[in-house]
A and B are shown apart, each in its own frame.
Chain A
Amino acid sequence: MFGKLMKHEFQATGRSLLRLYGIMLVLALMTTMAMRLFDLNQGWQGSVVGYIMIAYGLSVFAVAVGVFIILTLHYKKNILGDEGYLMMTLPTGVHSLLLSKLLTAMAWYLLTGVAMVLSVLIADSSSIDSAFFHDLVAGLHHIFSQSGALSVLLRVLLAMLLFASLITLLSYAYYSLEQSFRKHKGLYNFAAVVVTLVLFRLCGWISVNYHINAGLAAREVQILTPIDYAQLIGLNLLMYFAAWWALSKRLNLE
């Protein structure tokens, strides 16, 4: 059942997201073609290249922001809108519904990263030659030959993953709780902002105090410590269970 939920979730979200990726990749291709075909120093030709590059830059921005907006709005429509009458009456638990949406969102974020890197490589393909790949491999080799480089990379990846899932779960919790407070929307929005700010300030305060008490140097404060990871995991769990509680114990699909 979980696999089927994931399959349908990919189908439902993929239509819009793949179109966004397509537009970005086409504009990347147009950028590289324009740079090869036109002379940047010729008046109108330089303008054409400039406009195409701006369009490509905007498409990268649109993909970065659009993925989150599309996935968030899809959750609201699919679970709490008219489609909710279908989704919330499927013979499956709320955990399966939430987790399938979260895992699909994480997969899309990953794919978005891959699509962006690919688009940059396409857009800048005029400067990519065998020397580029040689330098790239040499650079990566140099980085990973440093002691602890792999550990840092994994920690950065984990932090990115936790931040992405936290933002996603925050939006799930926000919308899921909102349907229980439809008659007091203004008050709910105010309370949601206050609670979120207090939570994040509290986490920041704990983190800073941990650094001070541990006597870490200012330079090291920039690196996420175990207490930061613990807080991120805790906030993820808090938001997940807030969304789960609202959907399973307080659902009011009016």
Chain B
Amino acid sequence: MEYILECKALTKRYESNLALDAVDLRLAPGRIIGLLGPNGSGKTTLIKLANGLLTPTAGEILIDGQKPCAQTKAIVSYLPERNALPEWMRVKQVIDFYADFYADFRRDAANAMVAQLGLEPTQRIKTMSKGTKEKLQLILVMSRKAKLYLLDEPIGGVDPAARDYILRTILSNYSEDATVLISTHLIADVEQVLDEVIFLRNGRIELHESVDAIRDERGKSVDALFREVFRVDGRSND
């Protein structure tokens, strides 16, 4: 089987801190997967490694069978946990930017979502609130018809109404055959949209299971299981 994302003994060390510890992971296409874990568990590190923004200390990570490179970046749509859009740009310019570089970018979809959000094409990014910048960035990321969406904390630090908007935007824009990896520690908000979950703790995968199996076989919600797993020895960094 061809995996859209594969980690083989993937290790990342920052000085004395082991962020990822020999992670083995395979993600199949067409799934919405929650990458769940407390702060500092290695979620962002894993996503950055998949985007080639970090270099592994050992092991490897493959996207559609290739190490991160220009070809994999063409099929990955990445939402970083911070605003990466140049502040001087206007909405129209940033849409042009995405349209210029990504062959799978759907300008019509982006324009429609921008209009729905009430943004003017001439509005500068630096004049927007933090929440609006996050939404605009999400609109751009989800306007691509990518094979793999890597969304790093898309609902972290926003109010419940904004979370609903963000999840609606993700669900109504991703293509069915694409894989969506959502990293978060706000389990209850994303649980209803997930097919699979990965629990990450101290750089190790604690659990990788389908949401149906957790509900049917364990008789628990993902949120309840998460609380149980991360409460056992109080090692959560939250």
Distance A7 CA – B99 CA, assembled complex (angstroms): 13
Given contacts A82-B83, A91-B74, A250 and B52 within 8 Å (CB-CB): no
Q: Which of B51, B70, B86 contacts A12 (CB 8 A)?
A: B86
Chain A minimum-CB-distance residue to B71: A91
Q: Does A254 contact B (CB under 8 A)?
A: yes
Distance A232 CA – B101 CA, assembled complex (angstroms): 34
Do the beta carbons of B53 and A251 come within 8 Å of each other?
yes
Distance A252 CA – B54 CA, assembled complex (angstroms): 4
Distance A221 CA – B84 CA, assembled complex (angstroms): 50
Residues of A within 8 A of B165 (CB): none
In the complex, how many residues of chain A place their beta carbon closer than 8 angstroms to a beta carbon of chain B?
Answer: 26
Residues of A within 8 A of B97 (CB): 8
The A-contacting residues of B in range 30-69, CB under 8 angstroms, are 48, 51-55, 69
Q: Does B78 contact A (CB under 8 A)?
A: yes
Distance A89 CA – B51 CA, assembled complex (angstroms): 6
Distance A89 CA – B83 CA, assembled complex (angstroms): 14
Q: Does B230 contact A (CB under 8 A)?
A: no
Other A-B pairs, 16, CB within 8 Å; known A15-B88, A252-B55? A7-B100, A8-B97, A12-B88, A82-B82, A82-B84, A83-B85, A86-B85, A89-B51, A90-B101, A91-B70, A91-B101, A92-B70, A249-B55, A252-B54, A253-B48, A253-B54
Q: Does B159 contact A (CB under 8 A)?
A: no
The A-contacting residues of B in range 66-102, CB under 8 angstroms, are 69-71, 73-74, 76, 78, 80, 82-86, 88, 93, 97, 100-102
* Selected A-B contacts with CB under 8 Å, 15 pairs: A4-B100, A8-B97, A78-B86, A82-B83, A83-B85, A85-B80, A85-B82, A89-B52, A90-B73, A90-B101, A91-B70, A91-B102, A251-B53, A251-B55, A254-B54
**Minimum Cβ distance to chain B for residue A163 (Å):** 30
Q: Does A88 contact B (CB under 8 A)?
A: yes
Chain B minimum-CB-distance residue to A77: B86
Distance A12 CA – B97 CA, assembled complex (angstroms): 12
Do the beta carbons of A88 and B71 come within 8 Å of each other?
no
Residues of A within 8 A of B14 (CB): 254
Q: Does B15 contact A (CB under 8 A)?
A: yes
Distance A198 CA – B75 CA, assembled complex (angstroms): 44
Q: Which of A11, A91, A249, A252 contacts B73 (CB 8 A)?
A: A91
Q: Does A141 contact B (CB under 8 A)?
A: no
Do the beta carbons of B70 and A93 come within 8 Å of each other?
yes
Residues of A within 8 A of B85 (CB): 83, 86
Residues of A within 8 A of B51 (CB): 88-89
The B-contacting residues of A in range 76-106, CB under 8 angstroms, are 78, 82-86, 88-93
Q: Does A150 contact B (CB under 8 A)?
A: no
Distance A178 CA – B135 CA, assembled complex (angstroms): 32
Q: Does A183 contact B (CB under 8 A)?
A: yes
Distance A85 CA – B141 CA, assembled complex (angstroms): 13
The A-contacting residues of B in range 102-120, CB under 8 angstroms, are 102
**Minimum Cβ distance to chain B for residue A243 (Å):** 15
Q: Which of A4, A89, A183, A249 contacts B15 (CB 8 A)?
A: A183
**Minimum Cβ distance to chain A for residue B148 (Å):** 12
**Minimum Cβ distance to chain A for residue B98 (Å):** 9
Q: Give per-residue flags for A218-254: 1 if the beta carbon is below 8 A from chain B beta carbons, else 0.
A: 0000000000000000000000000000000111111
Do the beta carbons of A250 and B55 come within 8 Å of each other?
yes
Distance A1 CA – B74 CA, assembled complex (angstroms): 12
Distance A1 CA – B54 CA, assembled complex (angstroms): 24
Residues of A within 8 A of B80 (CB): 85-86
Do the beta carbons of A251 and B52 come within 8 Å of each other?
yes
Sorted nearest first, the 10 A-B pairs with minimum C-beta distance are A91-B74, A85-B84, A86-B84, A85-B80, A253-B53, A91-B73, A4-B100, A91-B70, A89-B51, A93-B70
Residues of A within 8 A of B70 (CB): 91-93
Do the beta carbons of B88 and A4 come within 8 Å of each other?
no
Chain A minimum-CB-distance residue to B44: A254
Chain A minimum-CB-distance residue to B69: A93
